[in-house]
């Protein structure tokens, strides 16, 4: 398995929705060769999504933002 490059608590915004902040809450499945992460929406902890590291690091889709 590849070494993870994104820390828990890292904050991201989707390029086409820059006001919606997503926070890395957990690592995804350990069974896949590509690391995945579970993200929760900062203003609504009920909203979750699982994304691959490749998608999160692709600046065409997401941008990492500073911690609070």
Q: What does the pLDDT look like over 35-57, one tens digit per residue?
A: 999 999 999 989 999 999 999 99
Q: Does residue 20 or residue 68 have the better pLDDT?
A: 20
- Residues 6+ away with beta carbon under 8 Å from 32: none
Q: Is residue 3 part of a domain?
A: no
Mean pLDDT taken over the chain: 92
Distance CA 57, CA 5 (A): 9
Distance CA 49, CA 68 (A): 21
Q: Is residue 24 part of a domain?
A: yes
User: Does the structure show a pLDDT above 70 at 2?
Assistant: no
Give whole-number Cα distances, 12 to 2, 16, 31, 32, 33, in Å: 21, 12, 24, 22, 22
User: Does the structure show a pLDDT above 70 at 61?
Assistant: yes
Q: Containing domain of residue 16, as a range?
A: 11-65
Q: Is residue 4 part of a domain?
A: no
Split into its structural domains, the chain has a count of 1
């Amino acid at each position: 398995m590849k070494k993870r490059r994104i820390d828990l608590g890292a904050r991201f915004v989707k390029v086409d929705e820059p006001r919606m902040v997503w926070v890395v809450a957990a690592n995804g499945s350990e069974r896949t060769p590509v690391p995945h992460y579970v993200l929760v929406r900062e203003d609504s902890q009920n909203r979750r999504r699982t994304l691959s590291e490749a998608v999160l690091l692709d600046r065409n889709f997401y941008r990492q933002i500073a911690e609070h």
